Structure 1
Amino acid sequence: MTWYLVRRTGLLVLSLAAAGVLVFTLLRLLPGDVAATIGGLRAEPERLAAIRADLGLDRPLVEQYASWLAGVARGDLGRSQLNGSSVGAELGRKLQVTGPLAAGGVVVALVVAVPLGTWAALRSRTAVGTGISALAQVGVAVPTLWLGLVLVLVFSVRLGWLPAQGFPVDGWADPGAAARALVLPCVALGLTEGAVLLRFVRSAVVGVLHADHLRTARATGLTRGRALWRHGFRNAALPVVSVLGLQLAALLVGAVVVERVFALPGVGSMLVADVGNRDLVKVQGEVFLLVAVVLVIGFLVDVAHRLIDPRLREPR
């Protein structure tokens, strides 16, 4: 297991390096110029050239990449080309919103998917199991944007239980107010992702219930539920963990939509604004951070597989 972790960590580092090259290169191919944003539409060519020189945009791309990579190695994602603010510091503030939002979405998705998916599998030939499966199909088809608007209409406009939009200016200084602001976004994000995960949980549990070792366990007198609990959940967890890793990556993408709907000052809103402003350094840091999170999730999923299934730890 130790040697596997060493090799897998080395592969993660190489993947991060390759991702950095791709992010840096592809962003340079996009149209737009931050110098034109700073100088304005009527800026003279000399003025634009001076701005580019001041920002270091006239340097060779290899030199720009080397400078950025050295900063990333030190934990410095650079400074905004528009206002000079630290990209890392601003991302840290935005992650105080996006991080709890994504975590809350995962919790909601698991609370919805695991018990309902297991119940649907155990009752697969009944009206209850069919109804849960049909409900999951509908949930997969529902756009997160539409669901968020419905939640606002019901729980904010009609009932007045929760705030419709925004996040406290002082952040988590008042944990109660901050948590209330994230309830509806987390539910909107978690329900749509939970519907997808529910289908995989049901499929995994149904497959395990028809396995030979579960039939043997039931032959000893155990009920289907107890046999599944004692002898089947670890096997069913393997595909679910894989899908959950993909869902975590999807949650980051879905968080961009949810942040726009609920006017949350998170990483998604920051990324959309910086793309519009052509602030290349900030966009570069934000995209690289999102890619790094996805790669780390993949790393953790692989490690979780090894911990769940002892057969994967056997020498080949």
Structure 2
Amino acid sequence: MTWFIARRAGLLALSLAVASVVVFALLRLLPGDVAATIGGVQAGPAQIAAIRSDLGLDRSLPAQYASWIGGVLHGDFGRSQLNGTSVSAELGRKLAVTAPLVGGSIVVALAVAVPLGTWAAVRRRGIVGGALNILSQLGIAVPTLWLALVLVLVFSVELGWFPAQGFPVDGWSQPGAAMRSLVLPWLALGLTEGAVLLRFVRSAVLGVLHSDFLRTARARGLTRTQALLRHGFRNAALPVVSVLGLQLATLLVGAVVIEQVFTLPGVGSMLITDVGNRDLVKVQGEVLILVAAVLVIGFLVDLAHRLIDPRLGSPA
């Protein structure tokens, strides 16, 4: 197990290194010049050149990359090219919104998918199983943006239970207000992702229900529910964990849209603003954080697979 973790950690580190180079290089291909943006329309060539020198943009690309990645390794993502604020500090504040948003959404998705997917598999020939199958298909077809607007209309405009937009200025120092502002975003993301995950849970449980080892367990006197709880879920978990990792990556992308709809000050909103301003230092830090999150999720999925079935990754 130790060797397995070491190998996966090495691949993760290599992937992060390659991702940092790709992110840095691709952002340099974007059109426009941040020095011209700072200087304004009245700035002459000499002023723009001076700004470029102050920002270090006149150095070679390898030198710029080495300076940036050296800071990243020490937790310093640099400073904004437009206003000089610390990128690390601002990323920390934005992640305090985006991370709970994604985490709460996956909790909602699992709370919907695992029990209902299992129920749909066990009762597949009944009315309940058919109804859950139809509901999951409808859930997959519903766009997250549309569901978010419906939730706002019902629970904010009509009932007034939750705020339609915004996040407390003091952030999580007001935990009650912060959580109330995330309830509708959690539901918007979690319900749509839960509908997708429900289909995979149903399929995985159906595969287990027809397996030989479950029939053997039932022949030994266990009920179907007991056999499923003791022996079935562990085997059904492998494909579900794989899909869950992909869904987490999808949630990170979906969070960008939801943050715009609910005016949440998260990493997605920050990224869209900074791309428009061509603040490359902030953009490359934000993109690297998102890429790193996806890679770490893949790493954790590999570890979860090995914990569920120790035979995976073992030499033949």
Task: Please identify, of 32-41 and 200-209, the stretch whose mean Cα deviation from structure 2 is larger.
Answer: 32-41
CA drift of 1:55 comes to 0.8
The amino acid of 1:274's aligned partner reads: D
Partner of residue 100, structure 1? 100
* Identity, % of aligned positions: 77
Contact kept, 8 Å, 1:245 with 1:301, in 2: the verdict is: yes
Contact kept, 8 Å, 1:122 with 1:225, in 2: the verdict is: no
Counterpart-to-counterpart distance in 2, 1:188 and 1:263: 14
The amino acid of 1:70's aligned partner reads: G
SS in 2 for 1:41: coil
Partner of residue 151, structure 1? 151
Counterpart-to-counterpart distance in 2, 1:280 and 1:193: 32
Counterpart-to-counterpart distance in 2, 1:156 and 1:194: 22
Counterpart-to-counterpart distance in 2, 1:313 and 1:29: 40
Partner of residue 122, structure 1? 122
Q: What is the root-mean-square deviation of aligned Cα atoms in Å?
A: 1.1
Structure 1: which 5+ residue stretches go unaligned?
none
Partner of residue 295, structure 2? 295
Partner of residue 38, structure 1? 38
Q: TM-score w.r.t. structure 2 length?
A: 0.98
Cα deviation digits, residues 3-60 of structure 1 (max 9, x gap):
1111111111111100000000111111122112212234322222221111111111
SS in 1 for 2:235: helix
Partner of residue 206, structure 1? 206
Partner of residue 196, structure 1? 196
The amino acid of 1:108's aligned partner reads: V
Counterpart-to-counterpart distance in 1, 2:295 and 2:306: 17
CA drift of 1:215 comes to 1.4
The amino acid of 1:81's aligned partner reads: Q
Counterpart-to-counterpart distance in 2, 1:143 and 1:52: 43
Contact kept, 8 Å, 1:122 with 1:224, in 2: the verdict is: no
Counterpart-to-counterpart distance in 1, 2:169 and 2:264: 11
2:232 corresponds to 1:232: yes
The amino acid of 1:28's aligned partner reads: R
Task: Please identify, of 45-54 and 279-288, the stretch whose mean Cα deviation from structure 2 is larger.
Answer: 45-54
Counterpart-to-counterpart distance in 1, 2:47 and 2:135: 59
Contact kept, 8 Å, 1:152 with 1:164, in 2: the verdict is: yes
Q: TM-score w.r.t. structure 1 length?
A: 0.98
SS in 2 for 1:125: coil
CA drift of 1:313 comes to 6.0
SS in 2 for 1:312: coil
Partner of residue 186, structure 2? 186
Partner of residue 279, structure 2? 279
Counterpart-to-counterpart distance in 2, 1:313 and 1:25: 34
Contact kept, 8 Å, 1:148 with 1:188, in 2: the verdict is: yes
1:278–1:314: structure 2 CA closer, same or farther, 3 Å change rule?
A: closer
SS in 1 for 2:312: helix
Cα deviation digits, residues 94-137 of structure 1 (max 9, x gap):
11111111110011000000000000000111221111111111
Partner of residue 80, structure 2? 80
Cα deviation digits, residues 163-207 of structure 1 (max 9, x gap):
110000011111111111111111111111111111110010001
